[in-house]
Amino acid sequence: MRLRAALLATALTTTPVMAAMATTITGPYVDIGGGYDLTQTQHMHAYDGQGVSEFNKNLNLPPEEAKFLDSAVSPATHSRETMHHGAGWTGFASFGWGFGNGLRAEVEGAYNWSETTRYTTTSYGGGHGKTDGADRSYGGFVNVLYDIDLKRLFGIDVPVTPFIGVGAGYLWQTVNDETPIANSIMNVRHNGTNGSFAYQGIVGAAYDIPGVPGLQMTTEYRMIGQVESFNNGNLGQTVINPNNQPVTDHNSIRYDQRFNHQFIVGVRYAFNTAPPPPPPAPAIVPPAPVAARTYLVFFDWDGAALTPRARAIVAQAAQASSHVQTTRLEVNGYTDNSAAHPGPRGEKYNLGLSLHRANSVKAELIRDGVAASAIDIHGYGEARPLVPTGPDTREPQNRRVEIILH
């Protein structure tokens, strides 16, 4: 029941909850984590060679018969025992290298602690009892893992990277516990340390932490196994004899395979992770061309007639007035400072010529569709030259009409 509940919790915590691009590890990284450890019930076998020999001696058999009986009792007559485990915890730290294609390799140091809760044996009339103690395992693994790129493989763009892996290594197991056998005067103690080959399977997911490139939170499930038949220290049995004296026999223990189920939360940091590229700059749409607000129409010397080029410019101004916000058109006429009769007489003539030119442009604007009421005309004569000149100078750019859109 505890195993099913823990598996469900791990499945729930590995559900994607964010949306962004997941990290691909290239180069070195470190990983640390810890969590809940559930050790399966262990089976073991004990054989008390010294006890068998002493029992035979107490029978006071002739030497030949005692020798025969000693040889007839083999280690196959050992007792079968089980040790039940309660809650435990685990922790690990690893250093690895990502190859940029999802594959990673790492070395790991691990430590596991588990409470021992109950002991049973086929000896002592099927003895059993509540155990007080714990066992520990510690060692290292070499792991190979593969990160599953959800975007590349399935088109799912989320900041979550599932991963799977396997590992092989070596673990030492240290046992120290004591069990008072129910309805008995015996206490059974286990103690000692030995090691064996170990292996593990890993499945989990890494979640990118926003704002910190390379930093991820991980959740994972691990199953660790150790091979069978490794001897583990000494089994001490304390027996109270009829004279109320303790008697201790030293038995050897052989453990069967050991399995740990682990549910881990951790943090991983990849050193060479570049920050995500900035979002592409929005396309710059050039503004629509704005119609000119001022148009210049030029005239021949002492003339007010519109040339073909002048008519084309007036037509552009008329068209622009219908496409841009325009309330009125200002038409201003000008001349240069040359005249057939210089002096006040010439200035008066040029003033009239500039107004005549403005009226020519107004008439053309009306022909091009502009309402007469929207046109204001002015004549400024020689005033406001576009190009400053000396007196009595013929300057083509000063012989003009300005059309201004308001």
pLDDT at 174: 85
How would you label 222-233 residue by residue, b for 16+ Cβ within 10 Å and e otherwise?
bebbbeeebebb
pTM recorded for the entire structure: 0.57
Rounded Cα–Cα distance for residues 116 and 293 (Å): 93
pLDDT at 276: 60
With tokens 């020999």, the residue in question is 53
Q: 274, 213 in Cβ contact below 8 A? A: yes
> Could you tell me which residues are beta bridge partners of residue 64?
none
pLDDT string in tens for the chain (406-residue length): 454 555 444 444 444 433 445 678 899 999 999 999 999 998 877 655 555 555 555 556 566 555 544 444 444 455 678 889 998 999 999 999 999 899 999 999 999 999 999 988 776 666 788 888 898 999 999 999 999 998 888 888 888 999 999 999 999 888 888 888 777 666 777 777 778 899 999 999 999 999 888 899 999 999 999 886 545 444 444 444 444 445 544 456 667 788 999 999 999 999 987 666 677 888 887 766 555 588 999 999 888 899 999 999 999 988 888 887 777 889 999 999 888 788 888 888 989 988 999 999 999 999 999 888 988 999 999 998 988 988 888 999 989 999 888 8
- The dihedral built from the CA positions of residue 91, 93, 96 and 101, taken in this order, carries a sign that is positive
Find the helix packing angle between 49-58 and 63-72, rounded to 10°: 150
pLDDT at 29: 95
Rounded Cα–Cα distance for residues 28 and 122 (Å): 52
CA nearest neighbour of 191 among 227, 228, 237, 225: 237
- The dihedral built from the CA positions of residue 225, 228, 233 and 239, taken in this order, carries a sign that is positive
Q: 362, 306 in Cβ contact below 8 A? A: no
Helices marked H in 18-62: 49-58
pLDDT at 230: 47
